[in-house]
Amino acid sequence: MLHVEGLSVRYGPVRALESVSFEARSGSITTVLGANGAGKTTLLRTLSGLVPSHQGTASFDGQRITGRAPEAIARLGVSHVPEGRGVIAELTVDENLRLGTFVRVRRGDRRAVVDEIYERFPQLRDKRHRSASTLSGGERQMLVIGRALACRPRLLLLDEPSLGLSPIVTAQLMATLRELTAGDGLGAVLVEQNARSALSVADWAIVLNLGRVVVADRPARLAADADLRRHYLGF
């Protein structure tokens, strides 16, 4: 579904990504792990068209996405959930979700798509008319994921969704990601510093260090490697 080949990104003299290659499949979660500054956010921002690549390519369903505008990539069904739970605080929960539908869903279908999001996240339905600024951290994370799902995406790019959430809410979030990708061909690239949680749900894992892929393997194999955990994963 997503094919990344030799991707390099520079910010002036800073080499943020160096020849990164990997694949992400539909119906599966690919986690991208690594310490602060490893290049995780840069990778997602490059895939969604917000940062230009210096070399290499990324393609989605056989179509090249590197070099295309963020709107064009979003219309293909790539939905980016950025760092930091960016809900629009002045809008209600319902308005935030409706915004998500504007990208890819026809006007007549938008209400039904938002209702589907409420089926998955009943807590959001209960607060649909409340301003997003009144939500708890876990509810905000639900809302940003809900808004991304309202685009009817085929690939979700998630940047540290567990940051600042309690262990229980994090576990719920991971279970939700698992369910979302289990059925209908949705794929996810999950960037996390919380390696233990991410490895518990992912189907494939890559570890970035200083912009390079240092390991790509099955999550169970990474979790079982004490040296790797100590060096790169912090647990």
Ligand X SMILES: Nc1ncnc2c1ncn2[C@@H]1O[C@H](COP(=O)(O)OP(=O)(O)OP(=O)(O)O)[C@@H](O)[C@H]1O
Give the nearest distance from C-beta 43 to ligand X in angstroms.
7
Q: At its nearest, how many Å lie between ligand X and the CB of residue 230?
A: 18
- Is 198 a residue that touches ligand X (CB under 6 A)? no
Question: Considering the complex, what minimum distance in angstroms separates the CB of residue 41 from Mg ion?
Answer: 3
Q: Kindly indicate which of the ranges 4-12, 34-42, 102-110, 124-132 contains the residues binding Mg ion, using the contact rule CB under 5 A.
A: 34-42
11 binds, among ligand X, Mg ion, none (CB under 5 to 8 A by kind): ligand X
**Token pair in block for residue 190:** 């999950």
**What mask of x and - would describe binding to ligand X in positions 4 to 23, judged by CB under 6 A?**
-------x--x-x-------
Interacting span for ligand X (CB under 6 A) from 33-41, 146-154, 178-186, 197-205: 33-41
Question: Quick check: 34 binds ligand X (CB under 6 A)?
Answer: yes
Which residues ranging from 61 to 100 are in contact with ligand X (CB under 6 A)?
none
Applying CB under 6 A, among 29, 38, 58, 228 the residue interacting with ligand X is 38
- In terms of CB distance, is 59 or 193 closer to ligand X? 193
Query: Concatenated DSSP letters for the chain?
Result: -EEEEEEEEEETTEEEEEEEEEEE-TTSEEEEE--TTSSHHHHHHHHTTSS--SEEEEEETTEE-TTS-HHHHHHTTEEEE-TT----TTSBHHHHHHHHHTTTS-GGGHHHHHHHHHHH-HHHHHTTTSBGGGS-HHHHHHHHHHHHHTT--SEEEEE-TTTT--HHHHHHHHHHHHHHHHSSS-EEEEEES-HHHHHHH-SEEEEEETTEEEEEE-HHHHHT-HHHIIIII--
Among 40, 80, 85, 154, binds ligand X (CB under 6 A): 40
Dihedral in degrees, nearest 10, Cα atoms 176, 178, 180, 183: -140
Q: Which residue is nearest to Mg ion (CB)?
A: 41
Cβ closest to ligand X, residue 41 vs residue 101: 41
**Nearest CA-CA partner of 134 in 75, 91, 175:** 91
Measured in whole angstroms, how far is the alpha carbon of residue 62 from the centre of its chain? 20
14 binds, among Mg ion, ligand X, none (CB under 5 to 8 A by kind): ligand X
Instruction: Enter the tokens of residue 173.
Output: 């979030």
Binding status of residue 41 toward Mg ion by CB under 5 A: yes
Is 234 a binding residue for ligand X by CB under 6 A? The answer is: no
In the complex, which residues of this chain contact Mg ion (CB under 5 A)? Answer: 40-41
In the complex, which residues of this chain contact ligand X (CB under 6 A)? Answer: 11, 14, 16, 34, 36-42, 193
